[in-house]
Amino acid sequence: MSKAKTVKKATSAKKKEEKNTKITKPVAKKTAKPQPAAKVAAKPAPAKLAAAAKKPSNGNTAPTATAVVGKKPGQSPMAGIKMIDSKSIMAKAQMKPAQAAKMAEPNFAANDFVVYPTHGVGLVKGVEIQEIAGHKLKLFVIEIEGAKMTIKVPVNKAHNVGLRKLSSRKEMSVALEKLKTKTRVRRTMWSRRAAEYEAKINSGDPIQIAEVVRELYRSSTQPDQSYSERQIYQNALERLSREVAAVDRSNDAQAVEKIESILKAA
């Protein structure tokens, strides 16, 4: 055997031995990526917090009204919730009907001037008690001089029917100022205007009555009114003049003269 072949054979045997004895590097195990921490439970919405705050802790605790205000991030769930004590509200809600009616009763005495919306100025003659269907009812006895009638109004219903005290001098001055304003021409049908005028007169408000007087007033140089216009005008003028007379402590004729002088000067 030649020397070259011997060397080649020895080299191949050596490589084969190295291949069998080769140390394999350990394969790195893939480690699982750390999972993100569990999300923190979402904070309850302000509306839910408010609802929870409204519930009483036990059956003996009165409910409390709550108002949710803005809270900054990172604050506790209860931050930003303002508690409002509602004891006074509950007390009013639990008030007996008799107590509520008593609080609403007007304090009119005999010889006081009052205004009943649909009849005008009246004089309180006194308070009487009548028994109706087994129940005692306290009534204001009011004499309406202009209408020559006497009406009786339940004390606890006086506010509901619009019974009010006489206007003050300041309030009447505001009403009389309306007589100086210029009227605008209205193109609506007379029947509709007449209904509006009647509603204003029956409201008992001196400002609204003065508006009717101003719109329907006609001077000697202006066209004549129709019959229905004159009727409504006279009704409004009488209502306003009686209250003016009561406020000024004068008579009806003097009050009418005062009103007409303002209308003529406007």
Residue 12: half-sphere exposure toward Cβ, Cα within 13 Å: 6
The predicted pLDDT at position 62 comes to 44
The predicted pLDDT at position 49 comes to 46
The predicted pLDDT at position 52 comes to 47
Domain spans in the chain, listed from the N-terminal domain onward: 100-165, 169-265
> CA-CA distance, 216 to 99, in Å (whole number)?
46
Residue 93, both tokens: 């809600």
The predicted pLDDT at position 35 comes to 56
**pLDDT tens column, 8-60:** 566 666 666 655 555 444 545 555 555 555 444 455 555 544 444 444 445 44
- The correct CATH number of 169-265 out of 1.20.58.1290, 3.40.50.2300, 1.10.260.40, 1.10.1490.10 is 1.20.58.1290
The predicted pLDDT at position 216 comes to 94
| Long-range contacts of residues 261-265, Cβ cutoff 8 Å, at least 24 apart | 262/176, 262/179, 262/180, 263/179, 263/213, 263/214, 263/217, 263/219, 264/219, 265/180
Question: Considering only CA atoms, which of 101, 263, 88 is closest in space to residue 176?
Answer: 263
The predicted pLDDT at position 221 comes to 81
The predicted pLDDT at position 10 comes to 60
Strands (E), the chain: 65-68, 81-84, 113-116, 120-132, 135-144, 149-154, 164-165
Low-confidence ranges of the chain (pLDDT < 70): 1-104
Residue 233, both tokens: 């005008």
The predicted pLDDT at position 83 comes to 46
CATH topology of domain 100-165: Thrombin, subunit H (2.40.10)
The predicted pLDDT at position 63 comes to 43
**pLDDT tens column, 175-187:** 999 999 887 777 8
